[in-house]
Chains A and B, each alone.
Chain A
Amino acid sequence: MRHRALFCLACALFLSTLVSTMTLRAFGPEETKMSSFRIGVVADEEPREGLTHLSDMLAHLGYPYDFIQEESQVLEPRRYSLLVIFESGLRKLGDDPSSTISTCAREGTSLLWIGPGFGQDDQETLAGVFGLRFISQAQAESYRVGYASFRSGNTKIFREMITNVELAGAKAEGFFLDLAFKRLSPSETYFQFGAGSIAYFFAYDVSSWWNVDLESPWSRPARLASAIQFALSNIPTVILRPYPRNLASAFICRMEDVDPLHTSEEWLSRAHRYLQEHVARNVPLSVALIPVYVDPGSRSEIRLGTDSAEPVREWLRTVIRGRGSIIQHGYTHQHGTQRTGVGTEFLVNGTWMSFEDQMRRISVGKDEIERALNTRVLAFEAAHYKLNENTLRAMERLGFKYLLDDHDSPFYGFWPQNADATEPSIFAIPETLSYIPLGSPVSMEIELREAIDQLFKSQGILLLYNHLYDDAALTIGLRAMEYALRKGHVWTPNIDEMGRFALERAKAYKRFAVAYESEVTVTLGKCSERGLTLLVNGQKEISWVQVNGKEWPVFNANFTILPELPEASNTVLIGFKEQPSRQSLSPLWGVSLLGVTTCMAFRFAKRTFGVNR
C-alpha cells in the first residue's frame, strides 16, 4: 500500500511537471525593438582599384555593408554605424556634404575618410568632426614624401595624391616621412567625438597600391583593417569571420610548375621530405600540375600518364593521401617554340587565344590528370596568371570551381563579381607570399615573416608557393610554414577545402544583416558548411544562442561557431542576459523521473533476483 502511494505521488509529480514544461516551452523570449549594424560606403561605384579592394576587404572580414545610393539613405537615423568616405562619393551626400557628415556624426555614426578631397569640406566641419585643419593637397612628389609611417612600420608612398593637414584636436596615428625618414605632416589621424564615435582620417589612399611595395607589400590592407576595427571599437558589432571555427588566418602551400619531367632523384627526394614535414604538421600541399611537358626544340612530349612519369605520379598520389589537392596549371604552360614552364599559354604575342582553343586545351589537360591520378580536379591556374573572360567561361563549363590568381589583394575573390549575379560560380584564391626564387638567401625568410605579420593583421590568406628549386627553397619554405603556424589559430586547408568553404560562406554572407538592441539578431543565407563564426564585439558576454529557433551550444564570451544553415534565410539570435533555457526542464521533472524509474526498476530487479518482501 505504501509502495503504491509513493508510486502514485511520483506519477502525479511527473505529469504535473510535464504540463508545466510544455507551457514554459510555449513562451519564447520577449520581442524587442531593434536597430541595425551596417557600414555605408560613400563612393562612386565606377570600378576602380581602391574601391574593389575596400569592398573585397569588407566582404572578407565579414562586415555587412552597402554603397550609399542617395542622401536620404545616409540621413536615415542610425542606419549606418560607420561611413567610409571617398572623394568620388561626396556628391551622393547632397549639395552640402559637410552638413550631412556633421549630422551623421551627431547621430553617433563613426567616420572613416580615405584619401584626397578633404579640402572640399568647410573648416568648421573638419575641426568639429575630424579634429583637423586642411592646409593643401597635391602629388606626393611635390611634398617630397617617400613613406607613411605608423607604429609597426612604414608603407611606401607612390605617385599619388596626398593631403597636408594640421592637427586641431585629433591624434596622429602616423606621419608622412621624406626619403631621409624625416617626419612631415600627419598621414593618419583619429578624433573621438560625442558618445564614443570616432572619425578616422587617412591623408593618402590606403585602399590602393596593394602588393606593389616590395618591402612591405601588405601594410596598406593591414592599416585599413586596423582603422575600420578601431573606428567601430565603441559600437556593438557582429562580423562573419573569414575562416571557419573562429580561426584567425589560413595558410596554404602550393607546389608550383610540377610537370611529368619532375622525375630527377634530387627533386623527388626534396619533394618527399617537404611533403613529410607538412603532413607531420597537418598542413596539406596543393600542387599546381602541368599535365603535358613539351620541348619543341628536342621534339619531346611527355604526358603525365606515360611510364616515365611514374615516380612523379607516385609522389602526387602521396600528396593526395596527405589531404593534398591537385591544381591544373594550364595544359603545356608554353606557346610556340618555348619549352614547358617558360611562357604564357593563352596570351600569345599580345593576342588572346580563342574560347574554343582555350576550352580544348584545358579539357584535354584535365582528362590527362584525372585519368593518370584517378582524382577529380576542381582548381585551375593559368600559366603566369594570364587569363581572360574566355578562360573563366571555359573553366566554368568544364566544372572547375577554384581559380589561383594574382589580384593584388590578400582576400577572397569571386567570379562573376557583379552583385546582381545569383551566386558566384568561381572562387579566386590570391597569391600573397610570392615564391622562393632559385638561389634565395636565407634572409628571404625574414621578408616572408614580415609579410606574414602584415597579412595576419588584416586576416589575409597566407599563400606561399614553392618550386623547390634547391635545398634553400626547402628550408625557407618549411621555416615560413612553421612561423605561420606558431601564430596560432591558423587554418591549414588545401585549395579545394578553402574554396568549398569560401563559396558557401559567400552564399551565407549575401543575406548577412545584423540588428541589435538587448539581443542581437543576425540573418544569414544558406550554408552547407559547418563552422561559420560570428564574432560579437559588445560590452557583455554571450549567454545564449539560438539558431533558427533552436538552442545552440557552441559559443564563448564573444563568438559563436555555427552549424550548417539549411534555410534560404536563417536567423541567429544572440543573447547577453541569463535566461532560463527553453530546452532545460525544471528540477521537478528530474526528481519525479528519478522517483518513477527507481520504483519501477527496484520492483523489477527484486522480482528478477528473487528478493523476498
Chain B
Amino acid sequence: MRKEFPRSLMLCSALAFFLSYFEYYYVALDGIPYREMYHVGFLKIPPYVLFPLVPALAIVAFFPLLDDLLLHRSDWSERNRTLVLACVNFLWSLTLYDGFYYALRSMFPLPTDPLGGLWIRAGEASIIGSVNLLGVLLPTWYFATIPIVVSVYLAYYIS
C-alpha cells in the first residue's frame, strides 16, 4: 500500500479545513459571509470557489498522479489506480471543505453573521437540494461523494 495516498488524503483534509476557515471568517462583506449573500452563481457556487479554491484542492489531490506522470515511474494500470484515488481524494476534500464551512458557522459563528449558529439551510444547498436525515439537513451530493470515498478506500485497503 503506497503511503502517499493516505498522506495526500490528510493533506487534502487539512487544506479543506484551512480554506473553509478562511472563507467563513475572512471572505465577508460587512460581517456577512460572502457565500450567504452571493450564492447565485453556477450551481449556487460562489465564483471564488470555482477559481482558485477548487483548483487548489485539485492540485493537492492529483499531486500523486502528476508525480507519477512526470517521473514516468508507473505503468498504465498503476496510473489508473492512482487516477481513481486522486479523484476520490478530490471528492473528499470538496465534501469536507463544504461541511467544515457549515460546522464552523454552527459552532463558532461570526457575531455579525445572521445565520450564525445554524447548520446548512434548505435554500443554501446546491441545485440538487438537501436531504433531511433524522432532523439534520444534509446536501444531497454528500450522499454520493461520501460512499464513493469510503468504497474506494475500502477496496484499496483490501487489495
Contact = CB atoms under 8 A, between A and B. Distances in A.
Given A553-B121, A581-B122, A590-B133, A597 B148 contact: yes
Interface residues of B, number: 41
B19 to A, nearest CB: 21
Nearest to B40: A563
A222 interface: no
Interface stretch (B28-36, B62-70, B93-101): B28-36
A23 B120 CA distance: 24
A110 B122 CA distance: 38
A419 interface: no
A246 B147 contact: no
Given A556-B114, A585-B140, A586-B132, A609 B122 contact: no
A558 to B, nearest CB: 10
B155 A555 contact: no
Contact of B114 (A561, A585, A598, A608): A561
B35 to A, nearest CB: 10
A539 B56 CA distance: 47
B43 interface: no
A580 B130 CA distance: 12
Interface in A550-569: 550-556, 559, 561, 563-564
B81 A608 contact: yes
Interface in A499-550: 530-531, 544-545, 550
A63 B31 CA distance: 26
B58 interface: no
Given A553-B124, A556-B114, A598-B150, A593 B156 contact: no
A563 B37 contact: yes
Contact of A561 (B32, B132, B147, B154): B32
Interface in A563-613: 563-564, 580-587, 589-591, 593-594, 597-598, 601-602, 605-606, 608-611
A561 B37 contact: yes
B134 interface: yes
Interface residues of A, number: 44
B143 to A, nearest CB: 4
Contacts of B84: 605, 608
Given A556-B115, A581-B122, A587-B134, A245 B155 contact: no
A554 B125 CA distance: 12
Contacts of B124: 553
Interface string B92-126: 00000000000000000000101100000111110
A411 interface: no
Given A583-B129, A585-B140, A611 B122 contact: no
Q: Tell me which of A553, A580, A589 has the highest count of chain B C-beta atoms within 10 A of its own C-beta.
A: A553
A605 B124 CA distance: 32
A175 interface: no
Contacts of A246: 114
A583 B151 contact: no
Contacts of A552: 123
A601 B143 CA distance: 12
Interface in B126-159: 129-134, 137-138, 140, 143-144, 146-148, 150-152, 154-156, 158-159
A608 B88 CA distance: 13
Interface string B37-68: 11010000000000000000000000000000
18 contacts: A491-B30, A544-B122, A550-B123, A551-B123, A581-B132, A582-B122, A584-B125, A586-B131, A589-B140, A594-B146, A594-B147, A598-B151, A608-B84, A608-B152, A609-B155, A609-B156, A609-B159, A611-B159
Given A598-B147, A611-B159, 13 more contacts: A244-B30, A245-B32, A245-B37, A553-B124, A554-B114, A554-B115, A561-B32, A583-B123, A587-B132, A608-B81, A609-B159, A611-B155, A611-B158
Interface of A: 244-247, 489, 491, 530-531, 544-545, 550-556, 559, 561, 563-564, 580-587, 589-591, 593-594, 597-598, 601-602, 605-606, 608-611
